[in-house]
Amino acid sequence: MKFPKTYTLKDIASLINCNFIGPENYPVLGMNEIHVVEPGDIVFVDHPKYYDKALKSAASIILINKEVDCPDGKALLISSDPFRDFNKLTNFFKPFKASNTAISNSAIIGLGTIIQPNCFIGNNVIIGKNCIIHANVVINDDAVIGDNVIIQSGTVLGGNAFYYKNRPEGFDQLLSGGRVVIENNVHIGVSCTIDKGVTGDTTIGEGSKLDNQIQIGHDTIIGKKCLIASQTGIAGCCIIEDEVTLWGQVGTNSGITIGKKAVIMGQTGVTKSVAGGKSYFGTPIEESRNKLKEFALLRRLPSILEELKKN
């Protein structure tokens, strides 16, 4: 998430009422999670296990719960609760805006696009040319949709990320201020849910086709010309490269990568990253030819045991 203007380190520290290390006029351009940070961004970290990763990341400003040595050329925001203060910043720069119309006045809808009845189009949504948005679709704030996109009924774009911190009093949600980006010539089936990024984009690449009842988590990137079948669930922060096929009821762990032109057979649990150009099956995931060989050997097991008894 980039800020509408450049802020200073002192400005940001004042917003969240914390101390800082670095020049008070140090420029702050935005805020992002660790996997999408760029120079000028704030990243938060609240566990010693991840201090080093955050301090060595591309982020220029680290929102951290311990005073540590500040890396050269960077700045620190010292907070007793970085998770809480990251939420404060999200709420300041991307506050929830209630709507009183079905289609926001700030939405931009391209020539030839059809919006069927009972749709909700949120603030600052951009929809390209010659799209068909079927009845009862929800497109929440800031989504960007390309040309020739078809979205079937009941689909929701831009729900909040499923991202919580476990506190003694209950679960605390990390607020989402990112977007959903749907590129040209994408088809999305009935009753799909695509969550927006926490601070970045959840992206569906050009020419990809999604069946009904698919869940895609926050900040996931789906490549170009992918096919995803019904009841597939893709966790947050995944990368699905171009021309991948996911058959029905596939599920993934968060943060995995599926390589270009991989085929994931139905009901597979993608527990780790896998290379492209191969077919996979099972839980835990394996190359399908290896898994099928195992099944063939298992079917032969009774006869093998009988042979061993005879000998």
CB atoms within 10 A of CB 114: 11
Burial class (CB in 10 A: 0-12, 13-18, 19+), 290: exposed
What contacts 289, CB < 8 A, 6 or more positions away?
279
Reported as type and span, the H/E element at residue 27 is strand 27-31
Between CA 229 and CA 233 the distance in angstroms is: 10
Catalytic residues: 218
The C-alpha atoms of residue 202 and residue 188 are separated, in whole angstroms, by 14
CB 113 within 8 A of CB 133: yes
- Residue-wise DSSP of 191-259: T-EEEPPSSSEEEE-TT-EE-SS-EE-TT-EE-TT-EE-TT-EE-TT-EE-TT-EE-TT-EE-TT-EE-
